[in-house]
């Protein structure tokens, strides 16, 4: 082969290799949602997927895999190729609480996943009937101590239960939790006077608060929430260190290529930085919070530890 032919061959070979070296993402991305279609997390994930796809200039396809409290979809994501083309919307249930609520959830939230970016938090709020003489958290704590375990609190999810367990511990407020099958039933009981108090997500209770059906006493985030302006947090009302919220984080299977991780992190930051996206998430009941990198890894690790302590302290056994 002559020198000219050799050089020509090398140029063509290099060109072919360059053509195969595709920049991420070069094809649609699958976003696993471990909950049913129409559930709150699903609605938020679909909106986020559409907007994140615009930043990445690629289609994001939502794949609902509900079941076992979110474990089924999370197992599928954990076993997927760590190439950036399978992502999952994880929550405080799938990536914190479930490790302590299930004997074998089928994945490890820390060793099997890489957190990409937080989407936001879902604070809860304590409410009561409008005619109740209790108007704030300080009043509630004093009343509960006067009559230990005589005041009832409606709860409908594990998150609600844990928020209340932490409140009992930090505020030394002995109140009796009453289980309901759903937020709607619990709210009806409070409005009807069968139960004095209720704790649930602001998403579930905001309309009732705004309509005057119930009054808000305090929110469970560290500070007051944009989801319910004018209502102080429990911590701001004197219960130091109190904070327990639901949260939503975008994860990828562990082993994600660095370039894909950088691209995804930047896209999430750019998407959540848009005022229109923030406003829409607020409408969906999510308070946007931008956390990435080592700070996010530390957050998810500490949240798993926190939920574990609460679940075990509440005497809940894994099933």
Rounded to an integer, the average pLDDT of 197-204 is 93
Three-state SS at 258: helix
Q: What is the mean pLDDT of residues 186-190?
A: 95
DSSP secondary structure letter of residue 233: B
Give the β-pairing of 29-33 and 60-64.
parallel
Phi/psi for 128 (5° steps) reads: -150, 175
Residue 215 in contact with residue 134, Cβ under 8 Å? no
**φ, ψ for residue 86, nearest 5 deg:** -135, 120
Q: How confident is the model at residue 39 (pLDDT cuts 50, 70, 90)?
A: confident
For 99-102, the CB contacts below 8 A with 24+ separation are: 99/304, 99/308, 100/307, 100/308, 100/311, 100/312, 100/316, 100/318, 101/69, 101/158, 101/311, 101/316, 101/318, 101/319, 102/68, 102/69, 102/71, 102/318, 102/319
What are residue 251's DSSP bridge partners? 88, 115
Q: Taking 50 as the threshold, does the pLDDT of residue 15 lie above it?
A: no
pLDDT band per the 50, 70, 90 thresholds, residue 2? low
For the cut 90, the answer to whether the pLDDT of residue 294 exceeds it is yes
> Between residues 312 and 251, which one has the greater pLDDT?
251
User: Looking at residue 316, what is its pLDDT?
Assistant: 83
Rounded CA-CA distance 75/87 in Å is: 12
Q: What is the mean pLDDT of residues 169-190?
A: 92
pLDDT surpasses 80 at 57: yes
Average pLDDT, the chain: 91
pLDDT grade, residue 157 (50/70/90)? confident
| Residue 313: predicted pLDDT | 86
Q: What does the alpha-carbon distance between residue 269 and residue 52 come to, in Å, rounded to a whole number? A: 10
The pLDDT assigned to 315 comes to 85
Q: How confident is the model at residue 285 (pLDDT cuts 50, 70, 90)?
A: confident
Q: How confident is the model at residue 13 (pLDDT cuts 50, 70, 90)?
A: very low
Q: Do 245 and 124 meet the contact criterion of CB atoms below 8 Å apart?
A: yes
The confidence band for 121, taking pLDDT boundaries of 50, 70 and 90, is very high
* Residue 158 pLDDT class (50, 70, 90 cuts): confident
Angle, helices 275-283 vs 40-56, to 10°: value is 170
Band the pLDDT of 246: cuts 50, 70, 90: very high
Q: For the structural domain made of 29-122+246-313, what CATH number should be given?
A: 3.40.190.150
pLDDT at 21: 52
Q: Decide: residue 74, CB within 10 A, 0-12 exposed, 13-18 middle, 19+ buried.
A: buried
Q: Please say whether the beta carbons of 74 and 92 come within 8 A.
A: no
- Domain 124-237 classification at class level: alpha beta
Whether the per-residue pLDDT at 277 is higher than 70: the answer is: yes
Q: Which residue has the higher pLDDT, 35 or 22?
A: 35
Confidence at residue 4, expressed as pLDDT on a 0 to 100 scale: 45
Q: Is the pLDDT of residue 230 over 70?
A: yes
Q: Which residues does 181 contact at the CB level (< 8 Å), separation at least 6?
A: 156
The helix (H) or strand (E) run that includes residue 253 is: strand 246-253
Q: Answer whether residue 7 shows pLDDT above 80.
A: no
Our measurement of the distance from residue 296's CA atom to the centroid of its chain's CA atoms, rounded to an integer in Å, reads: 13
Query: Residue 11: is its pLDDT beyond 50?
Result: no
pTM of the model: 0.83
Which residues of the chain are in CATH 3.40.190.150 domains? Answer: 29-122+246-313
Domain with CATH 3.40.190.10 in the chain: 124-237
Tokens representing 92? 């405080």
């Amino acid at each position: 082969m002559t020198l000219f032919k050799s050089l020509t061959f090398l140029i063509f070979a290099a060109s072919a290799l360059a053509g195969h070296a595709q920049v991420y993402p070069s094809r649609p991305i699958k976003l696993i949602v471990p909950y049913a279609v129409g559930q709150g997390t699903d609605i938020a994930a679909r909106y986020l997927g559409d907007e994140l796809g615009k930043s990445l200039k690629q289609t994001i396809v939502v794949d609902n895999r509900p079941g076992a409290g979110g474990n089924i979809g999370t197992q599928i994501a954990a076993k997927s190729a760590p190439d950036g083309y399978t992502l999952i919307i994880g929550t405080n249930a799938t990536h914190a609480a479930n490790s302590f609520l299930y004997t074998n959830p089928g994945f490890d939230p820390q060793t099997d996943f890489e957190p990409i970016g937080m989407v936001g938090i879902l604070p809860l709020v304590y409410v009561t009937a409008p005619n109740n003489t209790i108007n704030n958290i300080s009043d509630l704590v004093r009343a509960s101590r006067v009559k230990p375990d005589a005041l009832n609190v409606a709860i409908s999810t594990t998150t609600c239960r844990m928020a209340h367990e932490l409140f009992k511990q930090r505020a030394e407020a002995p109140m009796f939790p009453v289980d309901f099958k759903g937020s709607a039933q619990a709210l009806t009981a409070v409005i009807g006077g069968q139960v004095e108090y209720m704790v649930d997500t602001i998403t579930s209770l905001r309309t009732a608060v705004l309509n005057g059906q119930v009054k808000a006493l305090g929110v469970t985030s560290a500070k007051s929430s944009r989801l319910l302006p004018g209502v102080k947090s429990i911590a701001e009302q004197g219960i130091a260190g109190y904070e327990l919220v639901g949260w939503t984080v975008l994860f990828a299977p562990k082993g994600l290529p660095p370039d894909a991780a950088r691209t995804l992190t930047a896209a999430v930051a750019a998407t959540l930085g848009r005022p229109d996206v923030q406003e829409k998430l607020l409408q969906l009941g999510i308070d946007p919070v931008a956390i990435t990198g080592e700070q996010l890894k530390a957050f998810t690790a500490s949240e798993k530890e926190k939920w574990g302590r609460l679940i075990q302290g509440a005497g809940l056994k894994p099933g």
